[in-house]
Amino acid sequence: MNTGKNLIFLVSQPRTGSTLLQKILGAHPDIHTLSEPWIALHPLFGLRPQGVSANYSHNLALEATSDFLSHLPQGEEAYFEGARRMLPYLYDQALQVSGKSVFLDKSPRYYFIVDELRRTFPDARFVVLIRNPLGVLSSILDTWVKQPFFSNLYSLRIDFVHDLLTAPGAIRTAMKDACSVVHYENLIQNPAATVSRMCKELNVEFHPEMIEYGGDGKANERWAFGDQGTVYREVRPVTAPAERWRQTLNGTPAWQEIARSYLHALGPNLITELGYNFDGLCAGLGLRKDAGKVPDLMRVAVLTPIYRESTDFATQLQNFHDTIAGYASEKTSSPVVTSAAGA
């Protein structure tokens, strides 16, 4: 039974620099990786009662699956054992081609299924990558949305809503049992020390040439998924992206308001636990932390019914509102995570 001893999972929000870290880890002589596999998402998310849209009734399918599993000696555990047999077969196929011994799966939406991944592969190693929340927001707006408001096809992309609002809480939880927690800002500002520490925590040997991930051409082969810009223009980490969010968000009044609302939706406790300074981020937007009433992100975003990917627009709209409201009212007493990463 493969319990994941030869697997590494890189968990992060999208637009955190995960492709960069994936390239660096993939330059290790023992670690192989391919674009973003996503192969664990469907089978491990499939037991969730909500969040799946299909041409058939997911709820009915889940009810039938649960009934079937209830008649098996192992019950639901049999399902995870089935995933434990299927997924390693696919990972091993990739490893056979590479000649390496460890497979790295970097698929950002795995933040949804960290618990299921741990249950399926208790011996797998997990790396959690974290970026300044305003850096993530800025990158999503500048790369995917591109409009002053959410006024194009991406208006209500529910995956963006989760990437911004569901992911940070999931990442906070994933940090607790991760083999290694890496802050993007540390990675690009001090790559050798950061990667060396990460390798030690993953129990793999550090090779300094990993930092020059694109130096041999092959390591910089363009993938179908992930960052398509800076990672391929450079051959090693560069520091310029760390503070780009200031210019991007402050350069458009609407985006500055969205950023302000986003910070308050996450709240100072969560931002602090992720390793960042809430007051410093507010200051980076030219705002006091208590400056006036925080606008409703729903109104700021100017939501439109252009969104075509959902068969139930009203439900998506309500989910969006509920998610915002949930984060805005969240109270937590979790211990503060200290980090060298600043605002």
Instruction: Report yes or no on whether pTM surpasses 0.85.
Output: no
Task: Specify the residue for token string 């399926």.
Answer: 120
Structural domain count, the chain: 1
**pLDDT confidence bin for 328, thresholds 50/70/90:** low
Residue 1 within a domain: no
In the DSSP assignment, the letter for residue 48 is -
pLDDT digits over 63-87, tens only? 999 999 999 999 999 999 999 999 9
**Which range marks the domain in which residue 246 is found?**
7-328
Paired strand residues for 32: 103
Higher pLDDT, 51 or 185: 185
For the record, the structure tokens of 38 come out as 């996503």
**Whether residue 337 has pLDDT greater than 50:** no
Residue 319 counted as domain residue: yes
Secondary structure (DSSP) of 174-220 = HHTT-SEEEEHHHHHHSHHHHHHHHHHHHT----GGGGSTTTTSGGG
Contact assessment for residue 320 and residue 298, using Cβ atoms and an 8 Å cutoff: yes
CATH number at residue 161: 3.40.50.300
Average pLDDT, the chain: 83
Tell me whether residue 219 is in a domain: yes
**Structure token pair of residue 185:** 């800002």
Residues sharing a CB contact under 8 Å with residue 274, sequence separation 6 or more, in sequence order: 130, 133, 168, 171, 172, 337
User: DSSP states of 250-287 as a string?
Assistant: HTSHHHHHHHHHHHHHH-HHHHHHTT--HHHHHHHTT-
Coil, strand or helix: which one is 20? helix
| 246 falls within a domain | yes
Please write the tens of the pLDDT for every residue from 97-120: 999 999 999 999 999 999 999 999
Residue 15 lies in a domain: yes
Q: Give the tens place of pLDDT for each residue, 275-314.
A: 999 999 999 988 765 554 554 554 444 343 333 343 344 5
Euclidean distance between the first and final Cα of the chain, in Å?
Answer: 44
Q: What one-letter code names the amino acid at 8? A: I
Contact in structure between 103 and 40 (CB atoms under 8 Å): no
Number of C-alpha atoms within 13 angstroms, CB side, residue 312?
Answer: 10
Assess if residue 336 is contained within a domain.
Answer: no
Is 2 among the domain residues? no
Task: Tell me, yes or no, whether 335 lies in a domain.
Answer: no
